[in-house]
Amino acid sequence: MYASAADLQRFYPDDVLADLSGPGRVFDPDIWTAQLVAASHEIDGWLSAIAGVSLPLVAPPPVLIQMSCDIAVYRRMVMTPQTTSEDQKARYDSWLDLLRTWVRHGAVPPGVDGGAAQDAAPAALPRAEGSRSVFNQGVEPWR
């Protein structure tokens, strides 16, 4: 699990979490722990498509903690009779876009162990050399 109920309470006001907790309308850590576990599994589903990422992550970076909290709140909103807010839907969609981007490019998320090897530049990059610039041919410099 990438985030805890305490993390969730750092990012969301207690009244929002209580309203979404259901009957009794008080913050229920068990409900939110189940949502955070489901959010972590959803994230792992995406990250499993990236080579070099060993799951589950032992020390998730802050971006995955925030992502997990936002996904958990969105999932809970969808499950309750309360209308899902457009803001929360937009957050969820943004996180999915980021996950898709990481998968599409095979990029290891920032802060994930093993990411440094993929981020490092190759030892010898080809270098183009010439006597004159090809970009400014026949163009006077801007003054």
Cα(37)–Cα(117) distance, rounded to whole angstroms?
A: 29
**Which has more confidence, 73 or 134?**
73
Q: pTM for this structure?
A: 0.75
HEC readout, 1-44: CCCCHHHHHHHCCHHHHHHHCCCCCCCCHHHHHHHHHHHHHHHH
Q: Can you give the residue ranges of every domain in the chain?
A: 5-109
Tokens of 134: 């090809």
Tokens of 133: 């610039």
For residue 42, the one-letter residue type is: E
Give the per-residue pLDDT at 32: 92
Q: Could you read off the pLDDT of 87-114 as tens digits, one per residue?
A: 889 999 999 999 999 999 988 888 886 5
For residue 118, the one-letter residue type is: Q
Tokens 């993390």, residue?
Answer: 7
Of 123, 134, 1, the residue nearest 59 (C-alpha): 1
Q: pLDDT band at residue 6, thresholds of 50, 70 and 90? A: very high
Q: Could you read off the pLDDT of 36-93 as tens digits, one per residue?
A: 999 999 999 999 999 888 888 888 899 999 999 999 999 998 887 766 688 889 999 9
Handedness of CA 68, 90, 103, 79 (dihedral sign): positive
**Which has more confidence, 54 or 23?**
54
User: For residues 103 and 109, is the Cβ–Cβ distance under 8 A?
Assistant: no
Cα(8)–Cα(36) distance, rounded to whole angstroms?
A: 9
